[in-house]
Chain A
């Protein structure tokens, strides 16, 4: 079965711009989570959507937002980009979350200049 697909793979944006990242989960998975990975902070949780509803939220500013569509595909948006937003953004999908575990995508590498 197809894995978790994230697009685009690479992005270069200018400070102050906004960006939208996309994630297509494994077919049948209803939970989609987003993480930010940086060398200094490791993997930090952004938010999780389950059946189109935000179920969990991490400790990120309101510039970071997301949504999930009826087909479980998810998007995250970052507005007013800052240099510190440069990171690998990972999407993970799960049947229902919890003990079922999560399958990760390859990520979107965002560089803010």
Chain B
């Protein structure tokens, strides 16, 4: 069975600080990887996804993530966060046509 681990449950940053959220998964085969964001009171939105090709994936709103197969990791990064990035971030994985398995989420609070 697949599992996803997000290392930080809560992260607090000041505006303009750099962001890196960790995500590790456990599955030895070919995987599809996703980052979703849930802004306060809103539904889950896809930030970016990886399924093949360039391991550095760029998503919406200036976010990017790097797939490192040897480390089973798919960390999310943003060079300079804004107050509007305050949200909960979820890493998810599936393989083939299996369902998405989500991490527990990381709550990011950006102070102005």
Q: Contact check, A56 vs B98: say whether CB atoms are below 8 A apart.
A: yes
Number of interface residues of A (CB under 8 A): 23
Please measure, in the bound complex, the distance between the C-alpha atom of A105 and the C-alpha atom of B42, giving whole angstroms. 9
B98–A105 touching, CB < 8 Å: no
Contact A43 B43 (CB under 8 A): no
Quick one: which of B32, B90, B102 contacts A99, CB cutoff 8 A?
A: B32
A66 interfacial contact with B, CB 8 Å: no
Q: Which of A45, A99, A104 contacts B43 (CB 8 A)?
A: A104
In the assembled complex, which residues on chain B have CB atoms less than 8 Å from the CB atom of A7? none
Given A33-B100, A45-B99, CB of A98 within 8 Å of CB of B43: no
> Do A99 and B105 touch (CB < 8 A)?
no
CB-contact partner of A48 in B34, B45, B99, under 8 A? B99
- Contacts A104-B43, A106-B43, A107-B43 given; does A99 touch B98 at CB 8 Å: no
What distance in Å separates the Cβ of B89 from its nearest Cβ neighbour in chain A?
12
- CA A49 to CA B112, docked complex, whole Å: 43
Size band of the interface chain B makes with A: 20 to 34
Once the chains are docked, how many angstroms separate the CA of A42 from the CA of B38? 12
Cβ < 8 Å to A, chain B residues 69-111: 90, 94, 96-105
- B11 at the A/B interface (Cβ < 8 Å)? no
B→A interface (CB under 8 Å): 32, 34, 36, 42-46, 49, 51-52, 90, 94, 96-105
List 13 extra interface pairs beyond A55-B97, A97-B94, A104-B44, CB under 8 A.
A33-B99, A33-B100, A35-B102, A42-B103, A43-B102, A90-B44, A97-B97, A98-B97, A99-B32, A101-B34, A103-B46, A105-B43, A107-B43
